[in-house]
Amino acid sequence: MLLLFVFVIRTFYISSISMIPTLRIGDIFLSDQLAYRLYAPRDGEIAVFAPPVRSASNEFIKRVVGAPGDTIRISDGIVYRNGIGLDEPYENQPASYDLEIRNYGIYVDGKALNPAQADVPPRGMWQAPNRIPRGYYFMLGDNRNYSDDSHVWGFARRTAFSGQAFMILWPHLKVL
């Protein structure tokens, strides 16, 4: 059991409101450190990963919303993946911004994220101008308007993923 907790499962403490209502300040959750070594992150999963840009935080916890090859657009608070509006019962409130992946960039309210301040790969790494590049993911917090996520810092690299959240341990035991 000790080996399992040392090498496979890690605990994390939630200190921000970015994942409310799924994860609240003070929650302690478990993360499977082997999951993303065995398979790629999947839509809707809550992932632990290294920040794409310099941050005071050691690791981020966000929801996978888009995978390589997907198109993403947020309009009037609705997230569209590959042209289909997502049913997101975990969302705290709809996004108050519009977003679109187009022209080899991420555009928030019509303005492109600056690649010097966000992880937006150079044009040569994209397979299409409006799709998430190979090796990258689009991540959002459930508390959309209070989350430092892909609408601020760009894509998360596949190589940065370290674990998949699977259970809240404290204060109320709950499978994610």
pTM: 0.93
- Which active-site residues does the annotation give? 18, 62
CA distance 45 to 62: 8
Q: How far apart are CA 90 and CA 126, in angstroms?
A: 30
pLDDT at 5: 62
Domain chopping of the chain, boundaries: 2-175
Alpha helices (runs of H) in the chain, residue ranges in sequence order: 2-7, 35-38, 150-153
Is the four-CA dihedral 41, 47, 50, 51 of positive or negative sign?
positive
H-only helix segments in 26-154? 35-38, 150-153
Mean pLDDT in residue range 115-134: 95
CATH of domain 2-175: 2.10.109.10
d(CA 50, CA 157): 9
pLDDT of 55 > 70? The answer is no
Whether 81 contacts 43, CB under 8 Å:
yes
What are 6-34's pLDDT values in tens digits? 668 899 999 999 999 999 999 999 999 99
Could you give the 3-state DSSP secondary structure of residue 114?
coil
pLDDT category at 103 given cuts 50, 70, 90 is very high
Contact 140, 155 (CB under 8 A): no
